[in-house]
Amino acid sequence: MNGSASALLLGLWLAGGCQSPPGPTFDARAPGPVQASALMMPVESTNHLDPEWLHPSTNAFTLGPGDRVEIEILNDPESRATTTVGPDGRIYYHLLSGLDVWGMTLPQAKQRLESELLNFIRDGPKVSITLRAIDSKRVWMLGRLNTPGVYPMVGPTTLLEAISLAGGPSSAASAALASSASSANAITIRLNAPGSAGESADLRRAFVMRQGHLLPVNIQRLLKEGDMSQNVYLEPDDFVYVPSAAAQSIHVLGAVAQPKAVPATHELTLIAAVANAGGTIKDAYLSHVAVVRGALTQPQVAVIDFKAIIQGREPDVVLEPHDIVYVPFSPYRVLTRYVDIILDTFVRTVGANAGTRVVIPGAAPVGPNVPIGP
């Protein structure tokens, strides 16, 4: 074993919180690295699509910061004015110093306005309030889309409608989308929109995230096969991300010093990937390191004894582009729940970094929170 490899193993062991290397670190007669594919097994996620997501929400629209409303006291045309709900959730109108309407429906805001105006106008003023623009309800559409961005939700919006707003997936994937959308009598997708990226979209790994959790929606089936059972209604602040098919990286997450995407060089091994992420941190549970592979809705997983690898008792494992490596703080108890935690951590990491780059171009990568006790 050469000196650089010995130093790498020693550094990884010390990063794991140990004070001295464990006995023999490598057996020169041991076989070479094994392919992770030989260790993979499919896992059935506990995360299932809720049939209610295929129907528009019955919740009434509520006001929030950025929404614009037109207010008028009836029989007084000069009182008509347009105002915007401020960052504090308040509107400023007529003699009112600031009325908190955040979270109110339009009828509730109308009633509140009339009640407050009684302090200044006799005979019970009647008020008309009309919604003119929505900016408080948004959906994030990022990645390899022709016109990615943050779009306002002016009403019930399906996933397919939102992808249409964002111009459809970039490059070759757009043709498939146009065909499936036409066959489903859904909507027309704009092709070759300005700003289209040169890289194709990877629909197998595209995802929808809601409140920090992966939704079990198969975007590839929706767009390439016209499977409308995947066409869920989105909610405010949902995050839709379509990665690049050209991306060649491996995400190393969990109890490592620098969770990040590692370039997937030829024959990159598990030891090298973890080392690239700064090594494991104190109290990492090295016996249950997971490698997740495949489509996010149909993942395969290998649970690997990383401690045995760095001690030379097991051969290293060769990874592939798009693999997710997860180092836990504690052993898993239920494999399906463990995979759900890994995938939620993955989408939060990708979402946080993609969203941060939109708000702050050139921002440094963001590390995810590591769940304790899967």
Q: What is the pLDDT of residues 210-246, one digit of tens each?
A: 999 999 999 999 999 999 999 999 999 999 999 988 8
Contact between residue 335 and residue 301 where contact means Cβ atoms under 8 Å apart: yes
Helices (H) and strands (E) in the chain, counts: 8, 18
Task: Say if residues 264 and 258 touch (Cβ distance below 8 Å).
Answer: no
In degrees, rounded to 5, the angle at the alpha carbon of residue 358 between the alpha carbons of residues 326 and 169 is 80
The dihedral over CA atoms of 126, 131, 135, 138, expressed in degrees to the nearest 10, equals 120
| Pairwise pLDDT comparison (364 vs 148), residue with the higher score | 148
Q: Measured between alpha carbons, how far apart are the two ends of the chain, in Å?
A: 36
What is the distance between the alpha carbons of residues 115 and 324, in angstroms, rounded to a whole number?
56
Least confident span in 70-84, 167-181, 304-318: 167-181
**Which domains does the chain carry?**
3-47+248-359 (3.10.560.10), 68-133 (3.30.1950.10), 137-242 (3.10.560.10)
Dihedral, 342, 348, 351, 352 alpha carbons, nearest 10? -130
pLDDT digits over 59-76, tens only?
888 999 999 999 999 988
**363 — pLDDT class (breaks 50, 70, 90):** low
CA angle (95 as vertex; 94, 96 as ends), nearest 5: 95
The predicted structure's pLDDT at residue 31: 60
Cα 134 to chain centroid distance, Å, stands at 23
> In which region does residue 355 sit, left (phi positive, over 0), alpha (psi from -120 to 50) or beta (all else)?
alpha
The pLDDT, as a whole number, for residue 359 is 74
Mean pLDDT along residues 242-257? 92
More confidently predicted of 370 and 224:
224
Sheet holding 300-304, edge to edge: 41-42, 300-304, 289-293, 324-327, 249-254, 260-263
User: Taking a C-beta distance cutoff of 8 angstroms, is the pair 143, 168 a contact?
Assistant: no
- pLDDT score of 13 more than 90: no
pLDDT digits (tens, 9 = 90+) for 94-137: 888 899 999 999 999 999 999 999 988 878 889 999 999 999 99
User: DSSP string spanning 132-150?
Assistant: EE--SSEEEEEESBSS-EE
